[in-house]
Amino acid sequence: MADKRLWVVVGSAVVLLVVVAHALQFRRDVKVESTRNVSVGGATIQVDFAEGPLDLGTEAVAGRVKDAASAVAVYYGRFPVSRARMLILPVRDRHGLFRGTTWGGVGGFPGFTRISVGQQTTAKELAEDWMMTHELTHMAFPNLPDENHWMEEGLATYVEPIARVEAGQLDAKTIWREMMDGMPKGEPEAGDQGLDRTHTWGRTYWGGALFCLVADVEIRKETKNRKGLQDALRAIAAAGGTIDQDWPIERALEVGDRATGTHVLREMYARWSVEPVNVDLAALWRELGVRRVGDLVEFEGKAPLAGVREGITARR
Ligand SMILES: [Zn+2]
């Protein structure tokens, strides 16, 4: 019995430490030096700047938030949550954007992103940033159980560049080249037990993105290119599946499949979650008409799935 009491004491102490650590983490939010509100796609994003130097100034950074949010709004038809907060943490003597994290339902905001921005970030670095778009994409999907984390990250990895192409911020050839570079990192290695049970970096981000790409192609093949993953994702967000809501993955996939009139998401999930599924990427690129030429890619207009490739990045 004494042992048991000891464990209760130790357990309580651990819980207390975790609570205090969380509280301290959010205490850092308190020192906001200035605020700018950004309106995008029916939503307001409160951009809070913590203390610290930013060579470009707050207006340029708020402008980048607006571009990132606009791309997400274009992809989803509107910005997925009505109110969001983005906390910018300036970091002295650094370049670029880093350590982006997004949560649901913090301090009365359905979506909350915290991101570090280096003091010496240049206008070019800001324009080329992908991280803000990635973080804001997270707001358009429900919070899933831990074992399905790959779906949240894979989705953001896959959608972010496509949203930027649809918004006219990136060239389609650039993102197909990045997919050719990135997707092989998501393929299963020896010992893989499926996406729900293999929590490596490669499988979480790129394995999840590979799931999304294959799902997009399959939905488009089944619907004669009339529907795509974008329809499924819009429907999930429209049904209230945003980051402030906890959903089982089955619910999200069912809403998504209903929107495309297919069973692609549920059938793929049944296999990909519990076993390694190999994708013949060379064949997929060939069918889509994407060909590597040196550092660039060329499109093959006569490829059997050229229309599917175009449909994936078409603005609608
Ligand atoms: Zn992420």
The enclosing domain of 38 has a CATH number of 1.10.390.10
The whole-number average pLDDT for the span 295-314 is 97
How many A from CA of 32 to the centre of ligand 1? Answer: 24
Structural tokens at position 75: 């992809």
How many A from CA of 134 to the centre of ligand 1? Answer: 6
The number of distinct structural domains making up the chain is: 3
Tokens 């280096």 -> residue: 118
Same domain? 193 vs 302: yes
Percent of the chain whose pLDDT exceeds 70 = 91
What gap in Å lies between CA 252 and CA 259, rounded to an integer? 11
| Cβ contacts of 137 within 8 Å, gap of 6 or more | 72, 75, 155, 156, 159, 160, 163
Same domain? 65 vs 199: no
The pLDDT of residue 145 is above 80: yes
How many A from CA of 313 to the centre of ligand 1? Answer: 21
Tell me the pLDDT tens digit for each residue of 168-227. 999 999 999 999 999 999 999 999 999 999 999 999 999 999 999 999 999 999 999 999
Strands lying side by side in the sheet with 43-50 = 32-40, 43-50, 83-91, 109-118, 97-106
Average pLDDT over all residues of the chain: 93
How many A from CA of 66 to the centre of ligand 1? Answer: 19
Interstrand relation of 83-91 and 109-118 (parallel, antiparallel or unpaired): parallel
How many A from CA of 114 to the centre of ligand 1? Answer: 12
How many A from CA of 156 to the centre of ligand 1? Answer: 6
What gap in Å lies between CA 207 and CA 135, rounded to an integer? 18
pLDDT at 305: 98
Structural domain boundaries enclosing 258: 146-312
Same domain? 231 vs 248: yes
Residue, of 57 and 30, whose pLDDT is higher: 57
Same domain? 95 vs 171: no
Same domain? 100 vs 162: no
How many A from CA of 145 to the centre of ligand 1? Answer: 15
Residue 242 contacts residue 104 (beta carbons within 8 Å) = yes
Residue where a domain terminates, one of 140, 172, 195 = 140
How many A from CA of 11 to the centre of ligand 1? Answer: 31
Within 13 A of 157's CA, how many CA atoms are on the CB side?
25
pLDDT at 8: 60
pLDDT at 1: 46
Name the band, by pLDDT with cuts 50, 70 and 90, for residue 6. low
How many A from CA of 301 to the centre of ligand 1? Answer: 33
Check the CA dihedral 180-181-185-188 and report its sign: positive
Percent of the chain whose pLDDT exceeds 90 = 89
Report residue 181: phi and psi, to 5°: -75, -40
Report residue 276: phi and psi, to 5°: -70, 125
Closest C-alpha to 203, from 193, 215, 216: 193
Same domain? 127 vs 167: no
pLDDT at 42: 85
How many A from CA of 149 to the centre of ligand 1? Answer: 9
Torsion of CA 220, 221, 222, 225, to 10 degrees: 40
Whole-Å CA distances, 216 to 87, 108, 219, 225, 291: 33, 34, 5, 10, 19
How many A from CA of 137 to the centre of ligand 1? Answer: 8
Same domain? 125 vs 218: no
How many A from CA of 160 to the centre of ligand 1? Answer: 10
Structural tokens at position 50: 């913590």
What gap in Å lies between CA 218 and CA 277, rounded to an integer? 15
Residue where a domain terminates, one of 140, 170, 193 = 140
The pLDDT of residue 16 is above 60: no
How many A from CA of 225 to the centre of ligand 1? Answer: 28
Same domain? 194 vs 280: yes
Closest C-alpha to 119, from 94, 89, 86, 87: 94
Q: Which of 18-22, 120-124, 257-261 has the lowest mean pLDDT?
A: 18-22
Same domain? 214 vs 301: yes
Same domain? 195 vs 116: no
How many A from CA of 184 to the centre of ligand 1? Answer: 19
The pLDDT of residue 29 is above 60: no
User: DSSP secondary-structure letter at 143?
Assistant: B
Same domain? 170 vs 260: yes
How many A from CA of 27 to the centre of ligand 1? Answer: 22
Structural tokens at position 285: 């690129």
Check the CA dihedral 179-163-155-100 and report its sign: positive
Same domain? 246 vs 175: yes
